[in-house]
Amino acid sequence: MSKKIRVLFLCTGNSCRSQMAEGWARHLKGDVIEPFSAGIEKYGLNLLAVKVMSEAQVDISKQISKTVAELPAQEFDWVITVCDHAHDACPVFPGNVKVVHKNFDDPPRLALTARTEEEALIHYRRVRDEIRVFVEMLPDILLRDRIR
């Protein structure tokens, strides 16, 4: 049996998109991917992200928001930046890590004008589902030249 592919999902605050991506990867691809998530900063785990992932039967409630510096010392095979800020501020990683970018909308920003939690959740659910579709294509999509 070959070793799992170590994938780091990197976002600005490791509170929402990268956490959802880690949760989906663990849930859908845990047999081939060892997923991690981190942020350029840490904002704390977003409770609405936890809620919408729970609706999809994926529990991310025990994950914690962390920076790259707080991750266990190891080399990653892939770093996937899931927001433009993380892509622009992505640190240099040791070894032969490949960095790819797949931007997803920011649910907390989109939900700023929501009048109710239910209105806010619409944005979180859409991004959750987009991340799921992306993760379902892993690791095959990583072998392509470009991800958009």
Question: Is the separation of the CB atoms in 92 and 42 below 8 Å?
Answer: no
Q: Which residues touch 7 (CB under 8 Å, ≥6 apart)? A: 25, 33, 34, 35, 36, 76, 77, 78, 79, 80, 138, 139, 142
Question: Of 1, 2, 7, nearest to 77 (Cα)?
Answer: 7
Q: Which residues touch 146 (CB under 8 Å, ≥6 apart)? A: 100
Question: Is the separation of the CB atoms in 10 and 68 below 8 Å?
Answer: yes
Q: Can you list the positions of beta strands (E) in 15-71?
A: 33-39
Residue for token pair 């849930």? 27
List, by residue number, the catalytic residues: 11, 83, 90
